[in-house]
Amino acid sequence: MKRIVITGMGVVSPLACEKEIFWEKILNGESGVGDLTKLDSSNYKGATRAAEVDLEKDYNNPELLKHFKPYGKAVTYAAAAVDMGLKDAGFGKRFTEKNNYGIILGTTNGNQDIVERIVDKWSLEMEHEDLTTEAAKTLTYFRPIELSASIAKYYNLGGTNMVIPTACAAGNYAIGTAYSMIREGRSSIIIAGGADPFTRSCYTVFYRLGAMSKDNCKPFDQDRNGMVVGEGAAVLVLEELEHALARGAKIYGEIKGYGLACDAYDPTAPEPSGSGATLSMTNALKSSNVDKNSITYVSAHGTGTKANDAHEINAMSNVFGEDIKTMYVNGIKSMLGHCMGAASALEAVTATLSLHYQKVPKNRNTVKIDEAFKTHFLIQPSTEIENKVDHVLSNSFAFGGNICSVIFSKYDSK
């Protein structure tokens, strides 16, 4: 049976755009959440918090940024993450020989910022012949497939290129799909993750839903009052083990399995009992052949909304029973905001680094777990957790009831 390992990572986040700096800030419990600056905050009464990326400041590759700028921010963020991930995996240049290497990216909004750019800059009432060449060309970049296809072309990736639009679970869907394809022998390397930029439409949707916090994201806390919209991108370089060993690659961790499910309940609200999330976690444990008692911690979806956190707690209780009381549950959206299709990809990087460095990040803003929950878990990890991180179960939930759970494990050469 083929084993799939992680040999590289790339990060574009509100905290940092380099994985080691990102990891240091995550461990320190720093926050990338601040005041909204990329939109006119006067349009949003009382809810003007955001987790924004400053790629030009935090990432130094002007050639790449110039090349991808016309494609929009989703593609640019993804391309920057891929650049860093490939270099981290030991690939310093674009591939020149034919290969079956692939790229699979998840997203919520795709290239929606392209549409907003066009609406803001050009009148839709223009006659066709009056449209500038720039406007006409920009329109072609709206296609969601540009997210992976443009990067595949730039790096000469000859295998699968695919975009998975399963909203806020899309990053995990991409990672799970890549894992399956490598396991089946369809490719030896697939870059997988997610990307989403900050857009007016996305921010406005969550504002109108009343789902946004007026201060900070507080996963599972008694006083939680909503999520914070974020942005970013992250990828893992997934590789078949023998291929990685043959080229002497550094191995950060391993993917053991994943599970999919659907609430089949409501376009936006989670099913209260957690049935879909219960099935997803159960499927992940079954496919990975990892005993639930071996899970060191759960990397939670943890949006900080009343309904979503309650739904996730119910699901974890269904899966782990009384053992949840002695488990650690981590929610890094308290530091990153909710980065949409990039969220679970960023959480995948965090889980992998946790396994590699044998440390578990703390929760931020979670002071007292909601008394309404039928059971509680550990707010902070015990000192015994360090150097005993074996398996991490990472959850991601999305609108439409899309759910994906992935199990990341410490690499064992045996």
> Would you name the residues annotated as active-site residues?
168, 301, 338
Sign of CA dihedral 312, 316, 318, 324: negative
Contact 209, 201 (CB under 8 A): no
Contact 221, 252 (CB under 8 A): no
N- to C-terminal Cα separation, the chain: 14
Inter-axis angle of helices 146-155 and 73-88, nearest 10: 40
The DSSP code sequence of 296-337 is: -EEE------HHHHHHHHHHHHHHHGGGGGG-EEE-THHHH-
Contact 379, 360 (CB under 8 A): no
The span from the CA of 175 to the CA of 191, in Å, is 8
Q: Which of 107, 353, 117 is nearest to 231 (CA)?
A: 107
The span from the CA of 223 to the CA of 232, in Å, is 27
Backbone angles phi, psi at 233, to 5 degrees: -160, 155
Inter-axis angle of helices 170-183 and 343-357, nearest 10: 60
The span from the CA of 274 to the CA of 221, in Å, is 18
Instruction: Please tell me what DSSP assigns to residue 254.
Output: E
Q: Which of 171, 245, 205 is nearest to 12 (CA)?
A: 171
Backbone angles phi, psi at 391, to 5 degrees: -140, 135
Quote the strand ranges of 36-146, DSSP E.
49-50, 102-106
The span from the CA of 176 to the CA of 170, in Å, is 10
The span from the CA of 376 to the CA of 317, in Å, is 9
Locate 179 and state its tokens: 């894992």
